[in-house]
Structures are given as C-alpha cells and as structure tokens.
A and B are shown apart, each in its own frame.
Chain A
Amino acid sequence: MTAVQKRIFINKLALIFSTLSALIALAFLFWILGVLVMKGLSALNWNIFIYEGAPPGYEDSGLKHALVGQLILVGMATGVGVPFGILAGTYLSEYGKNSKLANTIRDISDIMMSAPSIVIGAFVYAIVVLPMGHFSAWAGAIALGIIMIPIILRTTDDMLQLVPGTLREAAFALGAPKYKVILSVVYRGAKAGILTGVLLGVARVAGETAPLLFTSFNDNFFTTDLNQAMPSLTVTMFNYATSPYEDWQQLGWAAAFILSMFILGLNIAGRLILLTRKKGK
C-alpha cells in the first residue's frame, strides 16, 4: 500500500466510524422518543386533565394536580430566575464588562450551571424548608429559580455583547443617558436572544426532579396553596412509575410524554426565534 492509499484508507475508516457513532447516538434518542410516544400516547386521555390523583384502582384518576402544580412551580421559578438572570447579565455586559468582579461572577455562574441540581435542592431545604418546618411550593420555586439564574445570566450576557458597540455609541452621541441606551437600544437589539435564553432556562428547570424532592415534595391531590407541598409532573412521574400498580404506571407514562413535549416545544420555539432573527438580518 502506498502512502497515499494508506491515507485514503484511514480517511474512509474515520468517516465510517464517526458516521456510525453519530447514528448510534441518534438511534438511542429516537428509541427513547419512540417508546415515549407509543406508551405515552396510549396512556393519554381526557381524564388525565380532569381528575386529580387517586389511590390505585380508581377509575377517575388523572394528573390535573401535577400539571397545575408543575405550571405554578415553573411559573414562580421563572418569576424568580428571569429578573435576577437578566439584570445580572446586564450588569456583566454593560457595567462590569471585563472587570475582575464581572469575570469572577461569570466563572461562578458557569460552575453553578454544572452544579448537581440535588445540591441546590439540599441547600434550599436547609435555608427554606427547615425554618418553615414543612415543604412548600415557595421552596420548590426558589430551588428551580436558582438553577435558572446562571443559564439566563450567561445567555443575557452573551446576547448583549453581540449588540455592536457602535450602536451604543450612536445612542450616546444623541445625548442618551446610559440606562436609556440599555433599555431602548441594547435590549431591543438582543430581544430575540434574551427570549431564547429565557425559554431554554424554563425548559431546563421544567425537567428537574431532584431539587423538588427536597423542597416542594409531592402531593397526590390538587392544591394551589403555596405554603404547602405541591405536586409536580416530575416527582409524580417518579412516584407513579416506580409504583407496582399498572394504572399508576400508565399515568407515569402520560406524565413523561406531556413533560417531554412541553420541553421539546420550548426548545424548538427557542431555536425558531433565533433562526428567524438570523434570517431577518
């Protein structure tokens, strides 16, 4: 074999192996999605949205409690995470820039992003659940909000930095004070990017289970009392799927399906927003 033939052979080998690996990775993804869609769709029916949890064996059992609880928890977490995340990201990009403090915050936020979520759950358990004496929706929302902050902070920081400096200068050159430049020019320029960050942040926390086990815990009944334990799709799914009862397991599949579609939808929406923004340019 000549040197050139050898190189061509190695090239082909590398191509085959990398393509195969990609296909295998994708195969698992589609396998998971396929099983989820099959089992989930067959478990779906209107009762799920009408009835709350019931003991095994009851016909009128559903996931209303978990769906509403999930929306409340994620909604409240968004209320905590989005303002903090966006404001902190604004500080980094517009005020802190490359200062020592700003870069330290960036590093810490990157570490926080990869921190195991169960640790954050345990932390909130210690500072909120223990003093209150019981689980609560508040604690769950705070835990999810904390997980959300670094994601939104970094995307906001990155997206604001993509706004050209000359645009800021042009606004200053018209006599705009700094806060006006940020509010009326920089935020506008980064609107799509920030929104995407928020959607991805929401999608990330919507799938969290571990931090909720310590904080909002779970409940098999419908509740809107924020001072009490609150059911969520993820923890309900965990409980139902690991139970020995067939009908609960069915509900577990339905919960998994609904949750996955919700998160998938958020991710797709985020990507679409970025895509249309790029096309607009």
Chain B
Amino acid sequence: MASIIDIKEECALQVRNFDFTYKGASAPSLKKITMPIAKNSITALIGPSGCGKTTLLRSFNRMHDLYPGNKYEGEIEFDGRNILDPKEDLIHLRTRIGMIFQKPTAFPMSIYDNVAYGMRLQGIKNKSELDGRVEKALKDAAIWKEVSDRLKHDANGLSGGQQQRLCIARAIAVEPEVLLFDEPTSALDPISTQGIEKLVIELKERVSIIIVTHNMQQAARVSDYTGFMYLGDLIELGYTEELFVTPKEKLTQEYITGKFG
C-alpha cells in the first residue's frame, strides 16, 4: 500500500480519494490519490512517463476542463472548498493557482504586456500601478536587469530561459497562492535550469509550489516533499531527503536506483 506521510504544517491543498478519467478512457488515469500539499514549501512529483504526474498537476487548476469529456471524482480541497465542484469559478481559481508550462509560453506581444496580461484581466488599468507591479514581478523573477531597457520589445526575442522567467513573472504578477510547474526546465539548457531552480526555491517564501519533473536530481535539489507516482497511483509521499535515502516502498527504491523508468 501507499506510504503517505502525515504533514504536520498547514496545507495549501488536500487531495482526497481523487480519481481522474480522460474522455473515452475505460479506466481512470489517476486512482484514489490522497495527498497533502504543504503550504509555502515545494512538493515534487516524480515517476516514469505516463504515471499521471502531469495529469494530477493539471487537475489542481482544472486545466482538463478545456477539453470536454474528462471526469473528476473525489476531492481536492483548497481554501476550505472542493475545487472539483462543477460550480467552481475556474477563472477565479486560476488566478489563485498559477501554472508554468514545459515550453516557455510567451504571448506574441511585448515583454511588458506579457507581464501585465493577468493583471489587466483582473481589471487593473491604472498605469502607475501596472508599471509598479510589472517591475516588481520581473524583479521577483530575476529577469528585470536583462529586460528593463526593452520592456516594449517583442517577448519572442528573448532566449528560452529568459522567456521561462518571463512566464514566471507573468504568473506571480497576479499574486497566486499556489504555483504549478510542469517540467519547467526540460526545454532549457543547464545554466537556465539552474536559474529557474534558484528562483523556484526563492518563491516558496510566498507561494506553495508543486513541481512535476522527470529529473530526480532536480526533485532532490529543490523540493521539500517528493511524491513518487507509478501507473496512476501515488506510491509514496515523504520528505525529499527521506524518500531519496530511505524510501519506504520497494517500487520507490527501484525507481530511484534506476531499476526501471
């Protein structure tokens, strides 16, 4: 059976008995997942391809709803509510739970407009407020120095690593409580990867972070908690140091020692 640690600190999210089934699939892709996500810490999700880690991540901001026919069962509690409720206001939910994608997703507009995008959606029109918050977000995403003199330039002119930091700036500009990272460095070079990892660690002061990674070293470097998933099950959730050094489950041990995956 799965070995899930009991998190004593406050939790940002609580997943309980969560099943997820893709449209037309006969069996659920996620099976009875129960998992606490600690507040202001980093939880990494690892596991071989197809284990459901990205599927789980995309459930936290109900991204699956963009493609009709998918089915959620069970509960994901956030701020005292079950966000799987069909009546949940997804627009509001997604401003509180942000997401960073595998490939940088800079919009085809200027750097400034990219960062201001989410704030403008929330109706912030005041120029000086926007200016201030764009600058702060870019500083928090450690990219301000590189772009401060070309905010009006097209964001697609930036390098991959810069674009990814721009996307992080865009996500934190709306001040979410949770940030979901979906393999945020798999399209980047080692130096950019280092920059993003450093940034993720700094960000946990303010947000709770869940990061999906296929890179076990990355999980070990950045996360406080690690969850190991396999074939739609959460096999083990534990403190990162413990999970990598003394895993409680045989499957976890086999995976982290490279016996499969």
The residues of A with any CB-CB pair to B shorter than 8 Å are 164, 166-177, 180, 184-185, 188-189, 191, 280-281
Question: Is B174 touching A175 in the complex (CB atoms < 8 A)?
Answer: yes
Report if B91 contacts A (CB, 8 A): yes
Report if B99 contacts A (CB, 8 A): yes
Q: Known pairs A171-B117, A173-B171, A175-B93. 8 more at Cβ < 8 A?
A: A166-B102, A167-B105, A168-B66, A169-B101, A170-B101, A170-B105, A172-B63, A180-B121
What residue in chain A is nearest B95 (Cβ atoms)? A175
Report if B239 contacts A (CB, 8 A): no
With A and B bound together, what is the CA distance between A188 and B105 in angstroms?
14
Question: Is A166 touching B103 in the complex (CB atoms < 8 A)?
Answer: yes
With A and B bound together, what is the CA distance between A166 and B167 in angstroms?
12
**List of A residues within 8 angstroms of B91 by Cβ:** 175-177
Question: Is B109 touching A174 in the complex (CB atoms < 8 A)?
Answer: no
Question: Is B66 touching A171 in the complex (CB atoms < 8 A)?
Answer: no
With A and B bound together, what is the CA distance between A21 and B171 in angstroms?
57
Q: Nearest Cβ in chain B — how far from A178, in angstroms? A: 9
Question: Is B94 touching A172 in the complex (CB atoms < 8 A)?
Answer: yes
What residue in chain A is nearest B101 (Cβ atoms)? A166
Q: A166-B101, A169-B63 are in contact. Are A174 and B94 (CB under 8 A)?
A: yes
Report if B226 contacts A (CB, 8 A): no
Q: A169-B63, A169-B101 are in contact. Are A281 and B118 (CB under 8 A)?
A: no
- The residue that A173 contacts in the complex, of B61, B92, B108, with Cβ under 8 A, is B61
With A and B bound together, what is the CA distance between A281 and B108 in angstroms?
11
- The residue that A174 contacts in the complex, of B103, B108, B154, B170, with Cβ under 8 A, is B170
Query: How many residues of chain B have a CB within 8 Å of chain A?
Result: 27
Report if B36 contacts A (CB, 8 A): no
Question: Is A188 touching B108 in the complex (CB atoms < 8 A)?
Answer: yes
Question: Is A175 touching B107 in the complex (CB atoms < 8 A)?
Answer: no
The residues of B with any CB-CB pair to A shorter than 8 Å are 61, 63, 66, 91-95, 98-99, 101-103, 105, 107-109, 117-118, 121-122, 154, 156, 167, 170-171, 174
Question: Is A185 touching B107 in the complex (CB atoms < 8 A)?
Answer: yes
Q: A175-B174, A281-B156 are in contact. Are A185 and B108 (CB under 8 A)?
A: yes
Question: Is B108 touching A189 in the complex (CB atoms < 8 A)?
Answer: yes
**List of B residues within 8 angstroms of A184 by Cβ:** 107, 109, 117
The 7 closest A-B pairs by CB, nearest first: A170-B105, A175-B95, A173-B99, A174-B118, A175-B94, A188-B108, A189-B108
In this complex, the member of A164, A167, A174, A184 whose beta carbon has the largest number of chain B beta carbons within 10 angstroms is: A174
Q: A175-B91, A175-B174, A184-B117 are in contact. Are A170 and B122 (CB under 8 A)?
A: no
Q: Nearest Cβ in chain B — how far from A97, in angstroms? A: 10
In this complex, the member of A164, A168, A171, A175 whose beta carbon has the largest number of chain B beta carbons within 10 angstroms is: A175
With A and B bound together, what is the CA distance between A189 and B156 in angstroms?
11
Q: Nearest Cβ in chain B — how far from A188, in angstroms? A: 5
16 pairs, CB–CB < 8 Å, chain A vs chain B: A166-B101, A166-B105, A168-B66, A172-B63, A173-B171, A174-B94, A174-B98, A175-B92, A175-B122, A175-B174, A176-B121, A180-B121, A184-B107, A188-B109, A280-B156, A281-B156
Q: Nearest Cβ in chain A — how far from B11, in angstroms? A: 22
With A and B bound together, what is the CA distance between A168 and B122 in angstroms?
18
With A and B bound together, what is the CA distance between A169 and B61 in angstroms?
11
With A and B bound together, what is the CA distance between A171 and B95 in angstroms?
11
Q: Nearest Cβ in chain A — how far from B185, in angstroms? A: 16
What residue in chain A is nearest B61 (Cβ atoms)? A173
Question: Is B94 touching A167 in the complex (CB atoms < 8 A)?
Answer: no
**List of B residues within 8 angstroms of A170 by Cβ:** 99, 101, 105, 107, 167
Q: Nearest Cβ in chain A — how far from B56, in angstroms? A: 16
- The residue that B66 contacts in the complex, of A167, A169, A180, A191, with Cβ under 8 A, is A169
**List of B residues within 8 angstroms of A189 by Cβ:** 107-108
**List of B residues within 8 angstroms of A280 by Cβ:** 154, 156
What residue in chain A is nearest B93 (Cβ atoms)? A175
**List of B residues within 8 angstroms of A167 by Cβ:** 105, 107-108
**List of B residues within 8 angstroms of A172 by Cβ:** 63, 66, 94
